[in-house]
Structure 1
Amino acid sequence: MKIGIISGSVREQNNATAVSEWVHNFATQRNDEGVDYELVHLSDYELPLLGARIPEKVKEKTMSTIKNWSEKMASFDGYVFITPEYNHAIGGALKNALDYLKPEVANKAAAMVGYGGLGGTRAHANMRLILGGLGVATVPRSTNFSLMTDFENMSIFKPNAYNEVNANGMLDDLVLWSQAFQTIR
């Protein structure tokens, strides 16, 4: 089974990179039998705004990028979305990237790891609505990192040890649900 850990920020010098690497390392060290975790950076895909006109000179490259994104997301049995919170919701780039998907992610499970002033909880609520519309089941447990307590100067990631308990429970749920959803695809 393959689980994609999707780093959902495209900002330069973002906090998502450190959080995503922590989640990937933590998940991999669990040694879940038969489960491979892969880290995917949304910033590696230059997706245009869905529906925007694509200039002819970059159309071929852009269509290839969209295809690569679609195929990468289809290759997973489940997902951990790293969701930064911007203005009480997920970032626009992550929302746009999800808008390119439907059959690739349907009937799969997802977990959420957030960070922000309140640990990304409002972004998680937003993500649950979006993923529900795509046919993705979201596990009830999540992991939330506060910019106030899990980061130094709101930029240097120093997670508190108690986050490991949340991450373990969240990943337990995700693996179980992803296995169950394999039976209906």
Structure 2
Amino acid sequence: MDTHNETPLKVAVVIGSTRPDRRGDEVGIERKGAAVGRWAHERAQARGGADYTLVDLADIALPLFDEPLPPSLGHYTGEHTRAWARTVDGFDAFVFVTPEYNRSVPAALKNAVDYLYAEWHDKAAGFVGYGAVGAAHAVDHLRGVLSEVRVAHVQAQVSLGLYTDFEDLQHFAPADHQEGALGTMLDQLLPWAQAMRSVREKAARIPAGV
């Protein structure tokens, strides 16, 4: 019996924006990304089915990619890279929370993906986007990026509109149906995460060079 497959799936809810929010001289407003990420994390935990961890790229604080060798070689020189590799390696799946900047993803999120290679392989991903058009372009771009590092992404996604899910374009107040959208995405994500775990375990049992 495969005991590893009986352990709970580990899912990271990744806050992909590091941008602080500020309105006039008022400081301390919760970042949109943090508010959305916390909402997704709390609702996911309430649904259960996996262990969910909130991962904020603002806390990870990766510099712009500075490894001398391609990540595909797996020879990481920086401690910040090795720490990030350990973090990503510990999860079975990811929920990426992303805004949209100029029709694409934030630089910090693209940078975080680009740092690693094998640690992303055969994992699953879902998306929670927020912005004027629900971050549709950003999520589409992120799907392409993740495909290059062999992450399987689910079809359903959460699209939060700046004019419909934020009061005064600032304070996160999701419409009632968004929790259902999140549930649909998670219902697709968890079976894929389980299947991808089996793929990784099977690959690990194949002798090198075969």
Fold conserved between structures, TM > 0.5: yes
Alignment gaps of 5+ in structure 2: 1-8, 22-30, 69-76, 201-210
Q: Distance in 1 between matches of 2:66 and 2:102?
A: 24
Are positions 1:23 and 2:40 aligned together? Answer: yes
Instruction: Single out whichever of 73-82 and 40-49 deviates more from structure 2.
Output: 40-49
Equivalent residue letter for 2:197: Q
| Cα-to-partner distance string for 1:47-86 (whole Å, 9 max, x where unaligned) | 1211389xxxxxxxx9222221111011000000001100
| Cα-to-partner distance string for 1:13-62 (whole Å, 9 max, x where unaligned) | 23100000000000000022xx1000000011221211389xxxxxxxx9
Of 136, 143, 158 in structure 1, the residue corresponding to residue 173 of structure 2 is 158
Number of aligned residue pairs: give it. Answer: 175
> Kindly tell me: are residues 134 and 52 of structure 1, through their superposed partners in 2, closer, same or farther at Cα, counting changes over 3 Å?
closer
Are positions 1:175 and 2:183 aligned together? Answer: no
- Deviation of 1:101 after TM superposition, in Å, equals 1.5
| Cα-to-partner distance string for 1:90-140 (whole Å, 9 max, x where unaligned) | 001110111001111110110000000000110010000000001001100
Are positions 1:40 and 2:55 aligned together? Answer: yes
Alignment gaps of 5+ in structure 1: 54-61
Q: Aligned residue for 1:94? A: 109
Q: Aligned residue for 1:71? A: 86
Q: Distance in 2 between matches of 1:85 and 1:37?
A: 24
Structure of greater Rg: 2
Instruction: Indicate conservation of the 8 Å contact 2:95/2:128, yes or no.
Output: yes
3-state DSSP of counterpart to 1:43: helix
Q: Distance in 2 between matches of 1:183 and 1:66?
A: 26
Instruction: Indicate conservation of the 8 Å contact 2:17/2:57, yes or no.
Output: yes
Equivalent residue letter for 2:92: D
Of 4, 10, 31 in structure 2, the residue corresponding to residue 2 of structure 1 is 10
